[in-house]
Every structure is written in C-alpha cells, then in structure tokens.
Amino acid sequence: MDSAVSNQREVRLSAILNVFDGFVTIRKTVRHLCAQTIRDQLEIVFVTTPSTPPLPEIPMLGLVGAWQVVVVPERPTGAAGWAAGIRRARAPIVVLCEDHSFPEPGWAEAVLAAYRENFAAVAPALGNANPRSLISWANFLLCFLEWYSPHDSGPVSAGPGHNTSYNREVLLEYGGLEHWLNAERLLHFDLAAKGRTIWLTAHAVTRHVNISKPGSYLAQSFLGGRVFGAARAAHWPAWQKVMYAMAFPLIPGVRLYRIARALDSPEKRRESRFFPALPWILAGLLFHALGEAVGYLSGAGGSIQHYMQFETHRSQHVDERDRWLLTDGDLHPSHARATGSEEYTS
C-alpha cells in the first residue's frame, strides 16, 4: 500500500473517500468537505488503486488541514477501500464519505462536538437530495429512515451505512475490518453489545442522492438483503438459518409498521410522500426480505461485489433528471423549468 501525504498539520477528523472513476465523480463531495466551518481541522483521505486515473491538481484542497492519497493494490469492495483509508488516517475520528452524499457546512463541526468519552460512533441526520422521485423516497425510507429529520440528538442502535463517523481506535480493535464494514449495521450492533455508545446528532446533516431507477432499486434491495442476511447468519446453526428464512414473509409487514411509526408527524409523511410512494416501499421491502432469506440459506455469494456497484457508480442508477445532482455545477434554469421543481439545490 502506497500513500502520498500533503502536509503534517494536526487534524481532528479524517474523511475517507473512495475514488473509483476519477476526480470528476467525487468533485462535488470534495467541494462540500472543503466548505466545512472547521475545514482546517479536516483531513481528506482519497483511496485509489493503480488503475484509477490519477488525481489532478486540486486547488480547493488547500482549504483543508491535510489530505493524502492511499493507493491499494486492489479494492474488491468499497469496504476494503474504507478500511485501508481508516488504517492510514491521521485523525482520532474517521468518517466514511460517498460520492453521492453531500454534507452541509456545519456537519464536521457538529460531528466532533458530539463525541464523548465512551462514544464509539456518531451518526449524522440525513436528508433526501433527490426528493422529486417516489422511488428515491422509497429507497431513502428503507435505508435511512432512522436518521431522517430527528427531533433530538441521542443514543441510537445504529448509524447510517457509509455515512457514520467512528472513534478510530475502536475500529482498529476489529480484525477483518473490511468484513464488518460490508454490513455496518452488524458492526453497530456488536459495538452496542460491547457497551459502546452510538450517538445521533441532529445538528450534523448530509444530503444523500438515492437510487431512482426501478430496476436498480429492486436489485439493490434484494442484494442488500442478501448481504445482511449472510452476515447476520454467518455463525448460526443450520436450523436457525432455515427458521429465519421461512419467516421472511413477515418481515415486510414488521418493517412497514416501523416506517409508519417513525413518520410520526403529518409534515414528515407529507414531505416523504409516504402514501404516493407506498407501492414502491412495499416492493422494496419484499425484495429485501427475499434477499435476506437467500442470504440465510446460501450465504452472500457474489452479492457484496454486485451490491457495491450501486454504491460506487450511483450515476448509473438514478434517472436522467436526477443525474445532474451528482455533478459539481448549478442546475441550468431550463432544466429547473422542465422538471417543474425548485427543490433541486445542492
């Protein structure tokens, strides 16, 4: 593993960012990181491979406290990249970042302010960056409901995958960190079982671009379920795997009930377009439950690698009207008029 470090300034938070297709795909996320109120205390860790296009000169990186490029020989999954970046990070707190999740300016400051002595992780609040699409809302509610417009900060059982920050020393206690980062919810459950606290801060907000293509949404739901089921059942006896797999028809109903309860105000139900999106929500829940059942019985197979395609190539899995959200530029006025939306702000 090679690493190129920009400077030796002291930093408090390292943002780990996989680079898969060159700088253009991560430019918007980098711009949001460079706009943080405490950017001088922030390090950006870019994880690449020898086949990744080299990063160009990036003047905006002069705004942050430090940055480095970590080159790994291969990166079979995004989790492998994040794990490599965590090991080389220089700050005591690390945060996983994505090319389709854009933190607001006060995000980093709020994350650091939330840490206390026994906190293993701090989770942000999430907003939907492509709210026009019913499929986007269904995907968002299935994946990020627990962190959507929280009323208050407080302890939670888990944080959002690929968007949570961690005490770096706590993470490095785990052998096989790549495995744990493939199914972060199970990592969070393990942290809780060990008496560690995961804290949700309502003051750190990042806006997430969600899948909005029908086929991609259903495939990602199935594969996500299979990855979760396989990881959850890795050490179960055969009888327990069969029992949980047979119970899969119950899971959509249970999760739908939880979604309805979590959308605990008319404003949340209206903003999330819960009732119009309900058919897509039900479809996603069913596909995820089917994937879980397959994962319990057959393991992950190649589902981890297939699933990561949805995370690392998000532009291929949003519709044409949402694709511009992933580019680092303003919406052309004619596009805004064509979509009839004034919500498209970055």
Indicate left, alpha or beta for 225 from its phi (over 0: left) and psi (-120 to 50: alpha).
alpha
Residue type, 214: P
Residue 104 has pLDDT above 50, yes or no: yes
Answer positive or negative: Cα dihedral of 57, 78, 308, 188.
Answer: negative
DSSP helix/strand/coil, 333? helix
Q: What are phi and psi of 208, to 5 degrees?
A: -110, 130
Complete DSSP assignment for 172-207? TTSSSHHHHHHTHHHHHHHHHHTT-EEEEEEEEEEE
Question: For the chain, what are the domain ranges?
Answer: 214-319
Listed range (75-79, 84-88, 131-135) with the worst mean pLDDT: 75-79
pTM of the full structure: 0.89
Predicted pLDDT of residue 340 = 33
End-to-end CA distance of the chain: 35
Separation CA 169–CA 240 (nearest Å): 34
Q: Calculate the alpha carbon distances from 123 to 102, 156, 159, 180 in Å.
A: 15, 9, 5, 17
The pLDDT of residue 1 is 61
Q: What is the mean pLDDT of residues 63-75?
A: 95
Question: Is pLDDT of 112 > 60?
Answer: yes
Q: Give 323's contacts (C-beta < 8 A, 6+ positions apart).
A: 315
Does the pLDDT of residue 283 top 80, yes or no?
yes
Cβ atoms of residues 172 and 86 within 8 Å? yes
Nearest in space to 177 (alpha carbons), one of 95, 85, 91: 85
> Residues 125-160: pLDDT tens digits?
999 999 999 999 999 999 999 999 998 999 999 999
- Taken in order 213, 219, 222, 226, the sign of the CA dihedral is negative
Tens digits of residue pLDDT in 229-272: 999 999 999 999 999 999 999 999 999 999 999 998 999 999 99
- At 330 the pLDDT is 44
What whole-number distance in Å separates Cα of residue 199 and Cα of residue 157?
A: 9
| Contacts (Cβ under 8 Å, ≥6 apart) of 56 | 23
3-state SS, residue 287: helix
Helical (H) or strand (E) element with 222: helix 214-232
Checking if the pLDDT of 344 tops 70, the result is no
DSSP 8-state code for residue 247: T
Query: pLDDT tens digits for 35-49?
Result: 999 999 999 999 999
